[in-house]
Amino acid sequence: MRIPTILAASILLLVLACGGEDGEQSRTETTEAAQEDQDGGGTEISEIVETAPQPLYPEGALDPAQVTPETPVSAAALYRAYFIWDGRTVMLQGYPDIPYVDSMMVEDELRLAAAPGDDQELATVSFTEIQNVPVTEDMLVTIRGTVDYYWTGELRLIEGSFVENAPPAQPAVETSPYVYSGETPLAVADFYEMFNVWKNREVLVEGYYHSTTTSTTDYGVTVRVDLAEPSDIYTKYVACKMAGGIPEESDSLLVAEREGTRIRGTVTGESFGMVGLEDCVLVNR
Query: pLDDT, tens digit, for every residue of 132-175?
Result: 999 999 999 999 999 999 888 899 999 999 999 999 999 888 89
Across 240-250, average pLDDT: 93
Reference 266, options 256, 255, 280, 254; nearest CA is: 280
The 10 Å Cβ neighbour count of residue 210 is 22
- For CA atoms 214, 76, 149, 139, the dihedral sign is negative
pLDDT number for residue 120: 93
What's this model's pTM, rounded to 2 decimal places? 0.79
Which residue type occupies 143? I
pLDDT number for residue 11: 40
Which residue type occupies 107? E
